[in-house]
Each structure stands twice: as structure tokens, then as C-alpha cells.
A = this chain, B = another copy of it.
Amino acid sequence: MEVTRKNFKESLNTIYSAIEEADFLAIDGEFSGISDGPSVSALTNGLDTPEERYHKLKKHSMDFLLFQFGLCTFKYEQLESKYVIKSFNFYIFPKPFNRSSPDIKFICQSSSIDFLANQGFDFNKVFRNGIPYLNQEEESQLREQFEEKRSQSNGAASLSFISPSSCKGPVSVPEEHKNFINKVVEKVEALLECSDKSVELEPCTGFQRKLIYQTLNWKYPKGLHVETMETEKKERYILISKVDDEERKRREQQKQEREQEELNDAVGFSRVIHAISKSAKLVVGHNMLLDVMHTIHQFYCPLPEDLSDFKEVTMCVFPRLLDTKLMASTQPFKEIINNTSLAELEKQLKETPFKAPKVESAEGFPSYDTATEQLHEAGYDAYITGLCFISMANYLGSFLTPPKGHISARSKLIEPFFNKLFLMRIIDIPYLNISGPDLQPKRDHVLYVTFPKEWKTSDLYQLFSAFGNIQVSWIDDTSAFVSLSQTDQVQIAMNTSRYAESYRIQTYAEYLESRQDDKQS
């Protein structure tokens, strides 16, 4: 089901109940770009620490926009041994909410845009009809703005955008506006005397409107309703009406409801993420680190500086994550699955020893056909990801005695895969452990080598030719990690390099230390 700004509100209950009833959820995001840093490979060095990788992704990927979010909910029907799914494809865009709302800037990367364009991605849906959103801080700011306006107008409802700095109490009207304000007060006095129900003032400036509100609230705390209206030409003017107590309360309440509605509209798509979060359901994704980072960054808060804080926030937002790419790269799947890219994985998981699960779209939801690929629409990718998870989970059941054909999302068998997010292209750390400390592989066979930028990989092979097989992980054009095959060669290499002038070698431990020093200074 496609969800845009146009049908978002009417779809919310459908979305909420789909999440509520689900056994697990699958998600996927599409972004306006991947990396604004140097080359992708320089960004994903094979010997990054988890901290380094997190910082690189935070620095070079978060200015892109997550503009399509796929959610597929999976509910198991015991009786028919099948999953019933509801798939949602959300288009997302930070449409400025009002004059004081933030004007978000985001980066587009032409290769990513071109890639999506070739898949038939509909950019018009994003930019014309994308659902807006607010993160938590923006939401509370807006809430405070509303509350402040309310307390300021002191019962009298106001539609206008008043400077939040305006204060209560007797008003100090600047000399040049005294005349203007006095005239307004005269008009109000006249209104109170006569039988008219209301009086319209001439259009005036925002500052003058502010003075009017302050003066009238202070002088006539009850019995008046002051409201900013707009002419057809978008000029703002003030309408003052006489109201009795009951009418005043009614208007007040109406206004409060309208504001709550406006607030909800502005929070927009974030409400879906809040619902996913509150459900605490298992959330499945494929190679999902960037999806998780973007989701938190866009709909909760700017990503924290420290990896450990990021893990904490992530556990609050998504208490239970599972990454199908990591699962497929782990025992017992690792040996059987030779390509873990989503499309290939899905194909392999239909063949023995795996089995395609029985899955059906819920009534009223369009069904996806895995035979005619629609990859890279987020909703479809989320769907496929869910299928992969089910096939792999069920495969685990075949090892039980007696074997079980269906393994639920709550089974102990899949717990070993929880909260481990696949780390791309790190040689010796397969995943980021969101709910605990990360693996700390020994890297004492690794050297950090710096050299003139004219050097090529072949120069490095030459330099270390005495040590047999080496593995080079480029950092930038004047440095690389070189992994030797044996740790005891490290000392020999270090000794040989002592008098070298063109290049320099450090052990991995020395390298980490000097980085630490760099940071502190």
C-alpha cells in the first residue's frame, strides 16, 4: 500500500493495527545518497574499528534524506500455517510546516538518484506528496510554541504567529505605536457598548498585532475573543468578538483540538516509527545499519557522538533488531549461502535445503510477486527481507528433534542473531553488536604503513615480499594497513623499516595509540 501525505491520516489506523497484530516487522529505506565522503572504499576500510566505522557513516551519510520507507508486517496464521502480510511504502519529505519551521537541506548524490531513476522511482511522489515528520526535539519545540501561545492569549484564541518572546503583564507600547493602540482600545470600548457581536480591524504589522493581543488580554482578560484572520490577499488583520464564558470555553477547546491536530500532522511519519518502537516487535532488515542510523537521525534525534550512546538510543527505539545479511553470513547459513545480496539471497532461499514460506497479502493489500522483481521499492525490499528471515528461521527448525517446520519470531533459536548489525567489508568484525560490547579481534599481525603517494599496491607487495602472503587495506593515498600472515613477522618488519626514509611502519597498537593522542590534543 502506497502512503503519501494525501492518504496518511486516513491510513494511520490501518498501519497501527498492522503493527499491533504482527509477529514481526520488516523495514527498508531508500536514501537520496550513500556517501558524500571520499571513495566508498576509503570510507569502509577493512580494518576500521566499529567506532571508526560509526563515525564515518555519521559524518558522511546523514546529510542524505531517507525519502522512502518500506514497512512490511508479518502475522502468522497457525491454522493455515501461513503468514499474512501487510506492506506499506511510505513517501517522506520534510515539507516546511509553517513559517517558523526548519528549512531542511539535504544532499543528493547523482549516482544514487540515477540508480533509483533507473528503477522507475517516483521522485514526484516524494517531493510533491511526501509525508512530513519531526524529530523529538522539534516536536517538543512546536508543542511549547503552541502552549506558550495559548497561555499568552490567556483564553482568547489566536491563530496568529506571535513572537515567543512576548510577555504577559502590562504592556510597554513604544511611543510610535501608542496612538494606534489607543484607537484599538476605543474601538473595543465601542464594541462593548453596542449590540454588534464583533469588529474587524485594518490589516497591520505582526508587531502591531502582538501589541493588540497583549493590550487586550491585559485590559479585558474575559469577554473578548481576539483572532488573526487573513484577507484573500493574504494580509493579516484582527477580528475582535464579544463572547460569554461558555462560548469562550468552547472556542478554547476547539482551538486546543485544532492545535493538537496540527501538531500530529507535523509529527507526521515519525508517528509510524513511534508505533513500531512502542510495539517492541522484532524488526528485521537487510544490511540495516544505515537504515537504523537514518531512521533514528531523522525521526528521533541527531546521532550521538559516541558509539555507545548510539547503541543505547537504538535499543530504546528498536529493542529487538535482526539483520538478514548478518544472519545469512553466520553459521549454519554461511556455508550454504554464497551471495548475501538481497536479491540473490531471496532466490537461494527458495531452493533446498531451504523452503519458500507460505505467505499471502492481507485483504485489501496489493500482493507482490517475487517472480517479477520490483527490487528497490522500499516496501518490496522489506517484504523480501521478511521472506528471507522466515526461510532461514524455519531452516533452523530442521535441526530440532523432532524437526519443526515453523519457527516463530519469538523462538529461542533466533536469539543468537538479535541486535547484530552487519558491518560491510570489515575483515575481522562481522557485525556491530547493538546490545553489548563489540568483538575485539587481535590485530597484532597488522602494520600501519605510510609512504609517498606515488606508491601502488605492487610497491607494498614488493616491500613485504619476504613475508609471503599479505593483505593490503588502503586508507588513503599515503597510508594503508598491511596484514601479514604471521604475527611473529611483525617484529622483523619493524626492524627492517627502522632506517627506511621513504616509508614508515607502525604496529597496529602504536597506530591506535597515536590516534588516541591526536584526539586528545
A93 at the interface (CB under 8 A from B): yes
8 A Cβ contacts from A105-139 to B: 105-111, 113-114, 116-117, 121-124, 126-128
Contact, CB under 8 Å: A111 / B103 = yes
Chain A interface main SS type = mixed
Output the nearest chain B residue to A126 by Cβ-Cβ distance. B123
Once the chains are docked, how many angstroms separate the CA of A104 from the CA of B108? 8
Quote the shortest CB–CB distance from A247 to chain B (angstroms).
36
Residue of B nearest to A118 (CB): B128
- Check A174 for interface membership: any CB of B closer than 8 A: yes
Tell me, in angstroms, the Cα distance from A110 to B458 when the chains sit together: 48
User: A212-239: which have CB < 8 Å to B?
Assistant: none
Interface pair A106/B110, CB less than 8 Å apart:
yes
Closest to A122 in B: B124
Closest to A114 in B: B95
| Nearest CB in chain B to that of A117: its residue | B128
User: In angstroms, how far is the closest chain B Cβ from the Cβ of A208?
Assistant: 14
> Complex formed: what's the CA distance from A109 to B103 in Å?
7
How many copies of this chain sit in the oligomeric assembly? 2
Interface positions of A from 88 to 107, Cβ below 8 Å from B: 93-96, 103-107
* A65 and B65 alpha carbons, distance in the complex (Å): 16
Checking B33, B94, B105 against A36 with a beta-carbon cut-off of 8 angstroms, the contacting residue is: B105
A115 and chain B: residue at smallest CB distance: B96
Chain B residues closer than 8 Å to A109, beta-carbon distance: 103-105
Chain A contributes a number of interface residues (CB within 8 A of B) equal to 30
Residues of chain B contacted by A122 (CB below 8 angstroms): 124
* Chain B residues, Cβ within 8 Å of A121: 127
What is the bound-complex CA distance between A107 and B123, given in angstroms?
A: 15
A463 to chain B, nearest CB (A): 14
Known: A124-B123, A127-B117. A108 touches B110 (CB 8 A): no
C-alpha spacing A299/B65, complex, angstroms? 26
Segment 440-498 of A: residues with Cβ below 8 Å from B: 458
Given contacts A122-B124, A124-B124, contact A105 B174 (CB under 8 A): no
Contact of A127 among B95, B104, B105, B113 (CB under 8 A): B113
In the complex, what residues of B have CB within 8 A of residue A107's CB?
A: 105-108
Q: Which residues of B contact A94 (CB under 8 A)?
A: 110
* Contacts known (A110-B95, A113-B127, A123-B127); A105 close to B458, Cβ less than 8 A: no
Scan residues 26-78 of chain A and give those whose CB is less than 8 A from a CB of chain B. Answer: 32-33, 36, 65
Tell me how far the C-beta of A107 lies from the nearest C-beta in chain B, rounded to whole angstroms: 5
Chain A, 358-386, CB within 8 A of any chain B CB: none
Does A108 contact B111, Cβ atoms closer than 8 Å? Answer: no
